[in-house]
Structure 1
Amino acid sequence: MSSTTVTLTTPKAADRVWQLIGGFGTLPDWLPYIRESRLGEGGRLRTLTNEEGGVIVERLESFDESARSYVYSIVQAPFPVTGYRSTLKVIDQGAEGSRVQWSGTFTPDGVSDAEATALFEGIYRDGLAALEKTLCV
């Protein structure tokens, strides 16, 4: 099993950041390469459509409002991994602002550990860069 974590430190308050990213269906609000997010199964399943029309289906595994975090898994995606599980979390740093942590674990399928890790590091890094840009608007 492989894993990776990418973080973003921002001067924005944790509550403000969580308000933007804490909803399971809110990816299009801050992640420009996700055009659409449709929720199903009472909000526990999200079907994402990317810029190219590709579809990713993810399941909400756990949600903790007070800890400002949620865990999700991939049900269907064009990624070369199995057993994908990810956590998105906002950590309050008081007067310093907050830190966003996006991490994932997965088993590469048909690619090396390094290739699979680089794929998700890139997704997380690009996603957090887009979040930072959205927060500054």
Structure 2
Amino acid sequence: MASTSVSRVLPASPQQVWDLIGGFDALPDWLPYIPESTALEGGRVRRLTNPDGDVIVERLMAYNEVERFYTYAILEAPFPVTGYLSTLRVHTVEGRDDRVEVQWSGRFTPDGVSDAEAEELFAGIYRDGLDALHRTLSA
């Protein structure tokens, strides 16, 4: 099993960030890589489409409004991994109510690629996503 994690401190309050990213169907609000998301099964599953038309289907596995995180599994995607489980989490920054740390982490089993290749793929996706979140918050 391989894993990766990326975090970034952003200039916003934890609640402001959670209000933007905390909805399981909210990726199009801040992630340009995912311009379309359709909620299925009462919001427990999301069907995502990227700009190339690829489909990614994910299931919400855990959600905690108080602790500001959710965990999801990929059911269908064009990625070279199986058993993918990821968490998007908002952390407070001690002593600062105008800063927040957002952490995006995942674990998965590479399929046809090395652990390092799969880890770098998702580290890049997470970095790009947190960069996009920073741009959205700064706009």
TM-score by length of 1: 0.98
Distance 1:105 1:53 in 2: 25
Match of 1:128, SS? helix
Say which SS state the counterpart of residue 34 (structure 1) adopts. Answer: coil
**Partner residue of 1:102 out of 87, 104, 116:** 104
Residues 1-49 of structure 1 show CA distances to partners (whole Å, capped at 9, x for unaligned) of: 0000000101210000000000000000000011100001010000000
Please report the TM-score for the alignment, with normalisation by the length of structure 2: 0.97
Identity %: 61
Match of residue 119 from structure 1: 121
The Cα of 1:97 is off from its aligned counterpart by: 1.2
4+ residue segments displaced more than 2 Å: none
2:73 aligned partner: 73
Q: Which residue number corresponds to residue 2 of structure 1?
A: 2
Instruction: Render the CA deviation track for 1:59-112: whole Å, top value 9, x for unaligned.
Output: 000100000000000000010000000000000114151100000000000000
Separation in 2, partners of 1:11, 1:126: 17
Q: How far apart, CA to CA, are the structure 2 residues paired with 1:63 and 1:11? A: 24
CA distance in 2 between counterparts of 1:53 and 1:81 reads 19
Counterpart of 1:116, as a letter, is A
Q: Cα RMSD between the aligned structures?
A: 0.8
How many angstroms does 1:118 deviate by? Answer: 0.5
How many residues were matched structurally? Answer: 137
In structure 1, distance between residues paired with 2:30 and 2:20: 8
Amino acid at match of 1:13: S
Query: Which letter maps to 1:33?
Result: Y
Q: What are the ranges of 5 or more consecutive residues in structure 2 without an aligned counterpart?
A: none
Partner of 1:135: 137
Task: Say yes or no: does 1:62 pair with 2:65.
Answer: no
d(CA) in 2 for partners of 1:52 and 1:59? 22
**Alignment of structure 1 residues 1-40 onto 2, 5 Å:** 1-40=1-40
Residue 42 of structure 1 is matched in structure 2 by: 42
